[in-house]
Amino acid sequence: MMNRTLMAGALAVALLSACSKSQPVAELPRPVVVQKLALSPVVAGALYSGEVRARYESDLAFRIGGKIVERQVDVGAVVKPGQLLARLDPSDAGLAAEAARAQLAAAQNELAFAKAEMTRYQDLVARGFVSRSVLEAKETTFKSAAARVEQARAQATVAGNQAGYTRLVADQPGVITAVAAEVGQVVKESAMVMKLAREGEREVLIAVPERRIAALRKAGQVDVRMLNEPETALQGRVREIAPSADAATRTYAVRVSIVDAAPSVQLGMTANVILPDAASAAGALLVPSTAVFEHQGASAVWVMVAEGELVKPVLRPVTVRQYREDGVVIAAGVQPGETIAVAGAHRIVAGQLLRPVPRAVLAGVRAGG
């Protein structure tokens, strides 16, 4: 009897254990990065990204060929007029200058002798000892010697200048933006050794499709916003539009001058040029590109509906006006004040409860960590 009771108890415990293991564990709501929509001043028209450059850039090169024996600056160096940048081996140029000076000295000696001969024969002609034709020959010899002196003097000057051309110096104040030769390298005359960006006006080089060229020509001013300071608008002016399109990209190179460039605007920085377009900007919202995805051949976003402390995603088709480097401009489908998912859109399932994480909070955690 006792054995039956123990067996019944053990069986009851086993059944209870099996029932407890089969019960599912409640899954915690997954986090989702969200952002509340608001009209942004950046949404003011078509946007084009480009690089900040100097308006005037010069290719610096030696005026003679030779072997580089010294280079005193690197990329990013700030230089002043007359500052030595690089130097060639001066041996050959020095020897050429010495040879030219020796030729000048020889020509001057020949001129002195021809002058003395001419003076002596002038005296002999006056006394009647020699004919006039002999004197004319001496005068011709003197004139030829004088011409050879002038030729030798010019050659000596050229050789002296070429000896000075072994030094590459900056002719304008600015910044070295590129170096194309190193010490020990043999360069040809006029081959670019360095690129100098002059001080002064800064501009942004952008590539613009053909359909926007007419609007750029009519635009009096455009906005320029640096990538590191997107909320600060700088005044820009379209200075130059390339007369022909690039063969590969079929876009036109456009240079936009920054009228009020601050000292913080440095060469090589990334800037966005915004073409004013009030009609296209009316009612448009700028959202991160990760928020928009394709659903059944149309663009859509996940709109978050509050469910207490959690949110429930609802699929919402949207009309995209423009894809830009800083996001996607949405013309219709969502309204300011609504909250959308901005990350992991393809992993969200309609109706599931999610834990919202504001994008600004996530960005602050990443910056602090």
Interval 120-173: pLDDT, tens: 988 888 888 888 888 889 899 999 999 999 999 998 888 888 888 999 999 899
Mean of per-residue pLDDT scores for the chain: 83
CATH of region 30-43+283-368: 2.40.420.20
Residue with tokens 């002016």: 237
CA-angle at 57, arms to 51 and 62, nearest 5°: 135
What's the pLDDT at 262?
A: 80
pLDDT tens per residue, range 326-340: 788 888 888 888 898
What's the pLDDT at 364?
A: 53
CB atoms within 10 A of CB 145: 20
Q: What is the percent of the chain with per-residue pLDDT over 70, rounded to a whole number?
A: 86
pLDDT tens per residue, range 336-352: 888 988 888 888 888 88
Residues whose CB is less than 8 angstroms from the CB of residue 87 and which lie 6 or more positions away in sequence, other chains included: 68, 69, 70, 71, 166, 167, 168
Q: Do domains 46-55+201-276 and 91-164 have the same CATH topology?
A: no
- Contact (Cβ atoms closer than 8 angstroms) between residue 328 and residue 4: no
Name the class of domain 91-164.
mainly alpha
Residues whose CB is less than 8 angstroms from the CB of residue 255 and which lie 6 or more positions away in sequence, other chains included: 53, 55, 203, 204, 205, 238, 239, 240, 241
- Mean pLDDT calculated for residue range 208-213: 85
Residues whose CB is less than 8 angstroms from the CB of residue 320 and which lie 6 or more positions away in sequence, other chains included: 292, 299, 328, 329, 330, 331
pLDDT reading at 9 higher than 70: no
pLDDT reading at 2 higher than 50: no
**CATH architecture of residue range(s) 60-89+166-198:** Beta Barrel (2.40)
pLDDT reading at 293 higher than 70: yes
What's the pLDDT at 204?
A: 92
- Mean pLDDT calculated for residue range 274-281: 63
Cα Rg of the chain, angstroms: 41
pLDDT tens per residue, range 70-124: 999 999 899 999 999 999 999 888 888 899 999 999 999 999 999 999 999 888 8
Three-state DSSP string of the chain: CHHHHHHHHHHHHHHHHHHHHHCCCCCCCEEEEEEECCCCCCCCEEEEEEEEEECCEEEEECCCCEEEEEECCCCCCEECCCCEEEEECCHHHHHHHHHHHHHHHHHHHHHHHHHHHHHHHHHHHHHCCCCHHHHHHHHHHHHHHHHHHHHHHHHHHHHHHHHHCCEEECCCCEEEEEECCCCCCEECCCCEEEEEEECCCEEEEEEECHHHHHHHHHCCCEEEEECCEEEEEEEEEEEEECCCCCCCCCCEEEEEEECCCCCCCCCCCEEEEEEECHHHHCCCEEECHHHCEEECCEEEEEEEEEECCEEEEEEEECEEEEEECCEEEEEECCCCCCEEECCCHHHCCCCCCEEEEEHHHHHHHHHHC
| Domain-wise residue ranges, the chain | 30-43+283-368, 46-55+201-276, 60-89+166-198, 91-164
CATH of region 46-55+201-276: 2.40.30.170
Residue with tokens 């090589």: 268
pLDDT tens per residue, range 175-200: 999 999 999 999 998 899 999 999 88
pLDDT tens per residue, range 32-65: 888 888 776 555 567 788 999 998 989 999 999 9
Q: Which residue has the higher pLDDT, 39 or 259?
A: 259
